[in-house]
Structure 1
Amino acid sequence: MAATSDTFNASSGGDVIFRSSDGVLFFVHKDALGYCSGGFPDGDAITVDPEPVPLTESSSVLEILFQFVYPRKQPALDDMKFSLFLAVAEAAEKYEVYFAMNICQLRMKEYLPAQASAIFGFAGKHNYPYLIAAASPLLIGKPLTEIARVLPPHLFVPWVSLVFVD
């Protein structure tokens, strides 16, 4: 029998079942997904299927992300390892979980300057200009190979032009 989320289990009444990349099942209400996200179809368009929908995110990421689709106190994202925080932020963007998207992009600055490169890449990928502006000065002088690994291609040429101004 597959492992099930402590929070989003069969007794929670969720009518859509998701399976994390590490095999944990999450029972989530289709109406909540439809109201609070743009990456999942609205509640009327989701058909209830007894087969779990596989997702690429780990159970630790989904446990946090799905809390944002319900009208209740949102999870605190402070004191979280940056790798988990970034994975939650990426999942929020991928599935357009609006409340999570907002809180993640606001909290990103708390990880500066230590995670400037990753934040710069995230901000460029998801079009958060104020995060780009906050991280940019911390990256002046970094090797271009490091910047090229994190910055989306459409922003790389402007970055090089900015850094190597005559």
Structure 2
Amino acid sequence: MTDSAAGKPTLEQQLFDQWPDGLRALFDGTSLVSKIGFTASLLTTDTIGHLRTSLLGIGELYAPDSRSLCIALWPQARCARALAQNRRAALTFVFDDAFYQVQLEFVPLPVDDDARDASAGLVCFRGSIDMGEAQRVRYARLTSGITFALEEGKDATLERWMQQIDYLKRAAGRSS
């Protein structure tokens, strides 16, 4: 894409195979209150080729290292079933004025029977980054993607998120 007036490219692309520092900090499992509203879209393909999407909040995403992302999904979610079958997904989101798409290959995380209450029945996966891409254009700044506001039960949701992140941290530690 070019700016016709100046003839200069306007699309800036950044490729990566490990989390840039800002994203690593976003997915580090800390300061969840300040990250409320962030939403990522997890795209999978089911066995008959249909695309499935799950919207994930910051309390369902944890990067244990620079090349991985652990996620927590409800077991009845179509994305959870699709991910268990074909193990590949793309995570898309807006962050720092850019559109991100990260291709990941997932494996299920082992279930910890001692911490089953903390998991709230979620199924968890660990994804390895295959390739990530950030896109920006000079003439427009992305200010948000899909975002949300917590309404009723905000404190209970934050508490659940903290428990989920703790569970993901323990599960990620067992799978290393």
Q: TM-score range by the shorter chain?
A: under 0.3
TM-score in terms of structure 2 length: 0.22
Flag the structure with more relative contact order, 1 or 2, with Cα contacts below 8 A and sequence separation at least 6: 2
Larger radius of gyration: 1
Q: Determine which structure has the larger strand proportion and give its number.
A: 2
Q: Determine which structure has the larger helix proportion and give its number.
A: 1
